A and B are shown apart, each in its own frame.
Chain A
């Protein structure tokens, strides 16, 4: 069920009405639990079983970890939980990829190995809920939390429908305490939650799908015909498209959860205004980057084992982070590029600090921002391309290796019409947040703004384009 569908509107209206009935909290949590399963089953009912496996395994793993004291036994339980979660992820998300990579490898050795390719359907949201569920077990193993007392609360944590399929990836320590006391949105939370839902949908339908996607799709559909202006425009447009698409989903998720009285963590903080890649990953898909930091980068050793190892850890973390996005070497390359840029940035910063170089003038801030944006556009080529050949063609075109021209003046204006204001807004929101800005407007302006978005949404028929991060 997509947020940008009429079915979701009806579903959400019913869930909201039931949630506000004067019923005991246990019952209302049960309603949310059932609603979450229905929400997930709307795509493919049998895959609810996978949610169950993840939930049950981590629930029992958590309890056994708390009662066990022998370190080797505790490690075994943790490994079992990780094996089940990563096994599910590995089979459903990477099964075909691993097999085809193995076939390619055998080909390079001159061995013709042609097994039947399995027809595996990717369960929507599996990358998100397995990471969420694993974090619970790892936190108990590390002694950061005690196992939760209620199975139904834990099941609600794993399946909570607003963020189930595309995040934010919520930690158990953030969500589970919210299940203790009855949650019902205050008028303020309901008002702001609905406003977030409308703003998130607008980002997705009006900006990402209607204005930016056509420009991006046109260039990526014909990489051989694209000139340098086309590719730069398309990648700038893709920066906006993927932000509006993914942040749109997160904004909807946060808004929907808030209407039910639950508070989810932020997932974006003006990432297109980032100055450097470290800054970017503090602002982009925050729930994933902090997950990778806490459960991969730091356990690897983080920055505690010397400079060289720090760079290696950064690279490993980002390569795996890239692979998390999709079963393709292009995503690994994309992650590798980000890891490389993070390593270079760290090296340059340390080098500058040692020499007392401070780039505090506004000129340097703007220059670093623009350089980050340009490098980001280069990395998107690998993220968005269908194959390596297309990516190479586009990269070549990006640096003047192709004299073609695909985009019309109107299409370029259309992309800039969104991108320029988006960049300006992100720069302005670097040190503040949307809520503070919106709260500073007179109530009548907020009303008229919401009315404008509602009208635009009603008038835009949209298409059945799913959120980009659903495929991850």
Chain B
């Protein structure tokens, strides 16, 4: 529709305008009303229990990935949601003296990221890889998002990096930018007679998520996690001996590439319990997979069952740690890594 700044191709044909001071008045009132109502909206949701949370996407992931360029002292935390909720990079640095960079991608197999780090000549740091049984399955957990993020990271322009920085600056300060509180989502809740769910694992700018399970219906979440594991178990293609051998060789090659650049690699099996753990144990028996993998690669393999200080943690939803436990777990894990010479 014509906005009517000009009605023809000539600059002179500008239509009659309202008095100039009118727009001052219009904009002053508009800004005042907008700020006031946004303030009320922000305050209301904060009182309801919402806290600012950074949205996880390829932009922020890429900004973390960039921190690992020519940084031999840094440790990349690679994996999926278990390490993202279970290892706090800040605590890791306090305990080890080495900065940790969270590169975990929720719900994605980590080998694409490990492969990227191994093949990048500018990465000369170390890697802590969180490997859970479901990663053995060919189709159980895809790495589609990881590949997409890696592709976009490699093509990221300076203006895109600036956009990410600005977006994070807003998201870490305000609740109103949370997508779950967008007008369309609120409308869906209103029509369905439900309420927005609090963010139980808000993400910090370093991509660590501190989970507070008191904020949600934990029974429902635990059941959902168990259902997901069972579905993955059903969908998983059996891993043939030849395919497993190929997997071991590939992982071994990636580890050697990182080691050649002066880095170290350690593999950690984060805790799980109840139904999730039973499904994992039934589908991917430790002796047949984890132990064989650990025996073939001469790097630290840290399984929570082998360390009393790691085995005692509770996973309220069956597969992730809560924020308080994550602190203790991180400290305990760093001690074990130290014992294994990971930081030497």
**Interface of A with B (CB < 8 Å)?**
1, 5-7, 10, 42-44, 171, 173-174, 177-178, 186-196, 199, 210-211, 247, 251, 254-255, 258, 262-266, 268-270, 410, 425-426, 429, 433-436, 439, 443-444, 446-448, 450-451, 454-456, 458-461
Q: What 0/1 pattern do residues 161 to 188 of B give for CB contact below 8 A with A? A: 0110011001000001111011110000
In the complex, which residue of chain A has the Cβ closest to the Cβ of B27? A191
Q: Closest Cβ of chain B: how far from A317's Cβ, in Å?
A: 20
Q: How far is the CA of A192 from the CA of B10 in the complex (A)?
A: 19
* A210 vs B182: C-alpha distance when bound (angstroms): 10
A174-B11, A266-B6, A461-B182 given; A451·B20 CB < 8 A: no
Contact A192/B23 with A42-B157, A426-B1, A447-B29 known, Cβ cut-off 8 Å: yes
A255 in contact with B179 (CB, 8 Å): no
Chain A residues closer than 8 Å to B41, beta-carbon distance: 455, 459
Q: In the docked arrangement, what's the CA distance between A199 and B111, Å?
A: 45
| Complex CA–CA separation, A266 to B33 (angstroms) | 31
**Which chain B residues have a beta carbon within 8 Å of chain A's beta carbons?**
1-11, 14-15, 17-27, 29-34, 37-38, 41, 55, 157-159, 162-163, 166-167, 170, 176-179, 181-184, 191
Q: Could you say which residues of chain A place their CB within 8 Å of the CB of B177?
A: 458-459, 461
Give the complex CA separation of A447 and B20 in angstroms.
15
Q: Which of A266, A433, A451, A461 contacts B37 (CB 8 A)?
A: A451
Chain B contact residues, majority secondary structure: helix
Are B1 and A268 in contact (CB-based, < 8 A)? yes
Which B residues are CB-close (under 8 A) to A43?
Answer: 157, 159
Contact present for B25 and A434 (CB under 8 Å)? no
Which residue of the partner chain, among B1, B14, B34, B191, contacts A247 with CB atoms under 8 Å? B1
Cα-based distance from A189 to B27 in the complex (angstroms): 13
For the complex, give the distance between the alpha carbons of A6 and B5 in Å.
Answer: 26
A434 near B4 (CB under 8 angstroms)?
yes
The reply to whether A433 and B2 form a contact with Cβ atoms under 8 Å apart is: yes
Q: Is the CB–CB distance between B38 and A429 below 8 Å?
A: no
Q: How far is the CA of A446 from the CA of B31 in the complex (A)?
A: 12
A-B contact pairs, 29 of them (CB 8 A): A6-B166, A6-B167, A10-B166, A42-B158, A43-B157, A174-B9, A178-B11, A191-B24, A191-B27, A210-B182, A263-B5, A263-B6, A263-B11, A265-B6, A269-B1, A270-B1, A433-B3, A435-B2, A435-B5, A439-B18, A443-B22, A443-B25, A446-B26, A447-B30, A450-B26, A451-B29, A455-B34, A459-B181, A460-B182
Which residues of the other chain, A, contact B162 by a CB distance below 8 angstroms?
A: 7, 10
Complex-state Cα separation, A341 to B3, whole angstroms: 28
Contact of A425 among B1, B5, B26 (CB under 8 A): B1
A447 touches B159 (CB 8 A): no
- Which residue of B has the minimal Cβ distance to A200? B3
Find chain A residues with CB under 8 A from B37 CB: 451, 455
Kindly provide the distance from the CB of B66 to the nearest chain A CB, expressed in whole angstroms: 17
Assess whether A447 is in contact with B25, with CB atoms less than 8 Å apart: yes
Residues on B with beta carbons closer than 8 Å to the beta carbon of A171: 9
B38 in contact with A188 (CB, 8 Å): no
CB pair B38–A455 under 8 Å, yes or no, is yes
B27 contact set on A, CB distance < 8 A: 191, 194, 447, 450
Report how far A191 CA is from B23 CA in the complex, Å. 5
Residues of B within 8 A of A425 (CB): 1
Complex alpha-carbon distance, A195 and B24, angstroms: 12
Q: Which residue from chain A places its CB closest to the CB of B163 in the assembled complex? A: A7
List the A residue with the shortest CB-CB distance to B158: A42
Residues of A within 8 A of B19 (CB): 188
Given A190-B23, A459-B181: A7 and B159 within 8 A (CB)?
yes
Of the listed residues A186, A450, A455, A459, the one surrounded by the most CB atoms of chain B closer than 10 A to its CB is A459
Contacts of A436 on B, CB cut-off 8 Å? 4, 15
Q: Report the separation of the CA atoms of residues A114 and B160 in the bound assembly, to the nearest whole angstrom.
A: 37
Known contacts A263-B6, A434-B2; 10 further A-B pairs (Cβ under 8 A): A5-B163, A6-B170, A188-B18, A193-B5, A195-B26, A211-B184, A265-B9, A447-B27, A448-B33, A459-B41
- Complex Cα distance A195/B163, Å? 23
User: B6–A1 contact, CB under 8 A?
Assistant: no
Measured between beta carbons, the chain B residues less than 8 angstroms from A269 are: 1-2
**Central interface residue in A190, A195, A258, A263, by most chain B CB within 10 Å:** A263
Q: In the complex, what's the smallest C-beta–C-beta distance from A166 to chain B, in angstroms?
A: 16
CA distance A270 to B1 in the complex (A): 4
Find A191's partner among B26, B33, B179 (CB 8 Å cutoff): B26
Partner of B1, one of A187, A434, A456: A434
Bound-state Cα–Cα, A436 to B1, Å: 12
Which residue in A6, A191, A268 is a CB contact (below 8 Å) of B163?
Answer: A6
- Are the C-beta atoms of A461 and B24 separated by less than 8 Å? no
Most buried by B among A7, A189, A210, A264: A7
Inter-chain CA distance A301–B20, complex, in Å, is 47
Q: Which residues of A contact B183 (CB under 8 A)?
A: 456, 459-460
Interface residue from A44, A264, A435 paired with B15 (Cβ < 8 Å): A435
**What separation, in Å, do the CA atoms of A247 and B91 have in the docked complex?**
50
Smallest CB–CB gap between B172 and chain A, Å?
Answer: 13
Query: In the complex, A193→B17 CA distance in Å?
Result: 12
Report the Cα distance A269→B9, complex, angstroms: 15
A residues less than 8 Å from B166 (CB atoms): 6-7, 10
Q: Is the CB of A451 within 8 A of B3?
A: no
* Nearest CB on B from A22, distance (A): 20
List the A side residues contacting B6 at CB < 8 Å. 263-266
User: Which one of B3, B32, B170 has the highest number of Cβ atoms from chain A below 10 Å of its Cβ?
Assistant: B3
A188 partner, pick from B23, B30, B163, beta carbons under 8 A? B23
The residue in chain A whose Cβ has the minimal distance to the Cβ of B22 is A443
Q: Quote the shortest CB–CB distance from A265 to chain B (angstroms).
A: 6
CB distance from B316 to the nearest CB of A (A): 29
